[in-house]
Structure 1
Amino acid sequence: MTQKTLTTWIMATRPQFFTVIILPIVLGTAIAWHSQKVFLPFYFCLSLLAGILIHAGINVLNDYFDHLNKSDEFNETPLTPFAGGSRMIQKGIFSAAEIYRYGILLLIMAVSIGLFLIWARGLALLWIGLIGVLSGYFYSAPPFSFQSRGLGEILVGLNFGILAVLGAYYVQTQTLTLVAVIAALPLAILVAAILYINEFPDYAADKEAGKNTLIVRLGKVRARSIYTLLIGLCFIVIVLGVIYNSLPLFSLLSLLALPLGWFAIKTLYACYDKSTALIPAIKNTIMLHTLVSVLLILAFVIK
């Protein structure tokens, strides 16, 4: 094994994706400020830390289970910074056992913070956290391996969209609201789109490993239309949310992000079978999630 540095341990968690958990937590906190003028910095920081640790743990464990089912070993397509996992096991930087222990440790740290928040803020967080941790672990772990059943996008949207926003809102207010769920939907859809487009470069390896993601089930050509549907649905939800007074009027500013989605769709249709050529579309999808999230946060803060 090669010598491990702090940077190595951090990179094993795939931090380039952490915005997808940070932004929904900030959004839930912004909604709490918008509706009840509440902001508790200490609990916000704990929520953020717990969310990042859960995400990091799930990413690390996903690498472990993808090593077990050999989907990462089968992956011979040119690797991108976004697809194919961290490759820490494949490069010999960590053993499989070290990766598993590291992932479990990260989850234990997250659960420890979560238990404190449950004690301090309320029992509803128990159910939000329990669903998040268990579905995150079994996202790739047998016997359920939800990603191999074509359910990965739904679970990712639930955990990194609805549950993250609702949980952050509850930590601040000790109440639940439908507004938080509606505001979370665009983020849930876009984080599902990030996972979805990242599965295109992994298609051959996933298929060989029996990892039957939606892309594997549909085939690359047919699967492109689902991505288009996800991008369109995100903006439809925002417009309807404003029309029915569930979202602030300023939420319409998020429509400024539409060109990012259009470019990503065009790139996917043209380059769906070329992993490196898909990198701009993957980057645009991440940027789209970030921009829409930030604009929704601002819409709740500035009104």
Structure 2
Amino acid sequence: MKNIAKNSLRAWILAARPKTLSGALVSVVTAVALFVRLSGGIGGMGRGEVQMALLCAGFAVLMQVASNFINDWYDFIRGNDREDRLGPKRACQQGWISPEAMKKGILLVVLLAGAVGLWLLFVVVRSISGAVWPTMFFLVGVGLLCVAGAFLYSSHLSSKGWGDVLVLLFFGIVPVCVTFFLLAQTLSSAALVLGFSVGLVVDTLLVVNNFRDRDTDRSVGKRTLVVLIGEKMGSRLYGGLGIVAVALIVLLDFMLHGSPTALSLLTLLYLPLHLSAWRKMRQIWNGRKLNEVLSLTARNILVYAFLVSSGMLF
């Protein structure tokens, strides 16, 4: 990657961290599947619902890109990214993108996310019945909260042990519940349970990332949750997140059907994959080879989304 031209398209693509973008889509995909299940089938997805689902997905991906850019820039100016980092190379630290260009890129992506949000607002206003203003204020508030969360994650909270809480909120509970609310025009305890499960699964990616970087994070004063609780508890946290996430889907299945169905049975297939990744994490324990566990975890998140969505739809 030494031949990457400064501020080139390839540099921006790498800075966006494409492998992380699937995590932003899991919440929307599973929320849509829940809506289809509760609305009686795919026939509940009219043109307006399809537009809202696609726009929610677009907003989620753009906010993930913005968060990645912000994280790249903040870690560079704070000196957190060193030459001996174990994870993927960062754009600013490698000189692929200048700090000034990165700031402009952050602004552009946030503005694009805002434009998608306004488009979503327009579609929602056309689709909903009843009072419009409360929903408009709610959506604008959620959008601003997402932008604030993206900045606060990198600037303050991720280095103080709050990163996992933000992932649970902004990659699980908030996008699942908001997407479901827009489609169904009502809130649901089922969406909340699903949001918790999705958030826990997506957080496995952050936990293995922070587990890999625990020594370098500690040396630069970055107090992630893994640094705070120690490596043994950090490993157990990784394993526990996936187990609890599956248990929540089984609970959701009972809430929806009163007994286990294909939703529980299919989601249980995620568990061997997760436990296998956890075992490999414990075997490797230190070093760059933990990136293999990171790749397995990213794959497992996609498998989880496929299994949960399939269980709800079929």
| TM-score normalised per structure 1 | 0.89
Cα distance in structure 1, aligned partners of 2:169 and 2:261: 25
Aligned equivalent of 1:42, options 51, 60, 66? 51
Runs of 4+ in 1 over 4 A off after TM superposition: none
* Maintained 8 Å contact 2:11/2:97: no
**Residues 50 and 114, structure 1, Cα contact 8 Å, conserved in 2:** yes
Report which of the two structures shows the higher radius of gyration computed on alpha carbons.
Answer: 2
**Alpha-carbon distance between aligned partners in 2 of 1:100 and 1:249, rounded to the nearest angstrom:** 49
1:183-202 equivalent positions in 2, closer than 5 A: 183-202=194-213
| Corresponding position: 1:219 with 2:226 | no
Classify 1:106/1:246 alpha carbon distance in 2 versus 1 (closer, same or farther; 3 Å): farther
Equivalent residue, structure 1, for 2:139: 125
| Structure 1 counterpart SS, 2:246 | helix
Give the Cα separation in 1 of the matches to 2:177 and 2:118: 17
Instruction: Give the Cα–Cα distance (whole angstroms) in 2 for the partners of residues 128 and 220 of structure 1.
Output: 34
The residue number in structure 2 matching 1:267 is 280
Which amino acid letter does the alignment assign opposite residue 192 of structure 2? V
Residues 13 and 30 (structure 1 numbering): CA distance in 2 closer, same or farther, change over 3 Å?
Answer: same
Change (3 A) 1:127 1:175: farther
Residues 79-126 of structure 1 deviation map (CA, whole Å, 9 limit, x = unaligned): 4xxx35x51112211111211221121112102221332344232322
Query: Are the equivalent residues in 1 in contact too, given 2:70–2:151 (CA < 8 A)?
Result: yes
Give the count of matched residue pairs.
Answer: 292
Measured in 1, the distance between the counterparts of 2:103 and 2:71 equals 9
What's the counterpart of residue 90 of structure 1?
93
- Cα 1:204–1:297 change in 2 (3 A) is same
Contact in 1 for aligned 2:168/2:199 (Cα 8 Å): yes
- Give aligned-pair identity as a percent: 25
How far apart are the structure 2 equivalents of 1:63 and 1:246?
A: 44
Is residue 307 of structure 2 the alignment partner of residue 295 of structure 1? yes
Distance in 2 (alpha carbons) for counterparts of 1:115 and 1:91: 35
* 1:52-71 alignment, distance < 5 Å: 52-71=61-80
Higher mean alpha-carbon deviation, 48-57 vs 165-174, is at 165-174
Amino acid at match of 1:134: A
**Distance across 1 between alignment mates of 2:73 and 2:207:** 20
1:137 is aligned to 151
Structure 1 unaligned spans of 5+? none
Q: Is the 8 Å Cα contact of residues 211 and 235 (structure 2) preserved in structure 1?
A: no
1:242/1:44 CA distance change after superposition, 3 Å: closer
Of 269, 276, 287 in structure 2, the residue corresponding to residue 256 of structure 1 is 269
TM-score when normalising by structure 2: 0.86
CA distance in 2, matches of 1:10, 1:166: 30
